[in-house]
Amino acid sequence: MSNQKNIFLIGLMGTGKTTVGRQLSRRLKMDFYDSDRVIEERTGVDIPLIFEKEGEEGFRKREAAVIDELTRKKNIILATGGGAVLDSRNRNHLINRGTVIYLKSSLKTLIERTSKDKNRPLLHAEEPAEAILQRLLDERGPLYEEAADYTVETANNSIHSVIQAIIKHLR
């Protein structure tokens, strides 16, 4: 599968974008990037601190620049942050520069997977995580659907079966 088009993974936090992306990159022998990790490496601080210092708007500016840059690379797999689709420029870069795969999960699974994670700044608000995740799903779900070439359910599927489904779709 050499000369593969770029593969971009989108979806809410907790859907498995980074885990799936890493494994998929090994299977397809493609370079893997996680836009959140790239931002952290370049700033030298973690995402929650960027949110604290620059607000969500400051973080989204950094994210847009990184997504623009990474989507120009060839033969890569990119796991985007859950909110990357909020910016229409990001959606356009993803849609026009590769195959977009939406990793989708049930609310119950998302709550289980994100509840213990301290690196989720959007979940550290006054309202319960369940309400926040539901709101994010309502707000971003249509954007994920619009941008995606293909949707894979990750809630009750093993990483192996998710990767198999993606590879099957790519062929």
Q: Does residue 73 form part of some domain?
A: yes
Residues spanned by the domain of 126: 7-170
The model's confidence at residue 117, banded by pLDDT at 50, 70 and 90, is low
* 146: pLDDT strictly greater than 90: yes
**Residue 84's pLDDT is what?**
96
**Residue 1's pLDDT is what?**
39
Span 116-126, mean pLDDT? Answer: 66
Q: Does residue 96 form part of some domain?
A: yes
**Residue 2's pLDDT is what?**
42
Q: Does residue 80 form part of some domain?
A: yes
Distance in angstroms (rounded) separating the CA atoms of residues 125 and 135: 13
Q: Does residue 127 form part of some domain?
A: yes
**Chain-wide mean pLDDT for the chain?**
91
Q: Does residue 2 form part of some domain?
A: no
Q: Does residue 1 form part of some domain?
A: no
Q: Are 60 and 116 in contact (CB under 8 A)?
A: no
Higher pLDDT, 148 or 116: 148
Is pTM beyond 0.85 here? yes
Q: Does residue 134 form part of some domain?
A: yes
62-116 per-position pLDDT tens digit: 999 999 999 999 999 999 999 999 999 999 999 999 999 999 998 888 888 877 6
**Residue 147's pLDDT is what?**
97
Name residues whose C-beta falls within 8 Å of residue 116's C-beta, 6 or more positions apart in sequence. none
Q: Does residue 55 form part of some domain?
A: yes
In three state form, how does the secondary structure of the chain look? CCCCCCEEEECCCCCCHHHHHHHHHHHHCCEEEEHHHHHHHHHCCCHHHHHHHHHHHHHHHHHHHHHHHHHCCCCEEEECCCCHHHCHHHHHHHHHHCEEEEEECCHHHHHHHHCCCCCCHHHCCCCCHHHHHHHHHHHHHHHHHHHCCEEEECCCCCHHHHHHHHHHHHC
Residue 160 sits in a domain of what CATH number? Answer: 3.40.50.300
**Residue 142's pLDDT is what?**
96
Number of domains into which the chain is organized: 1
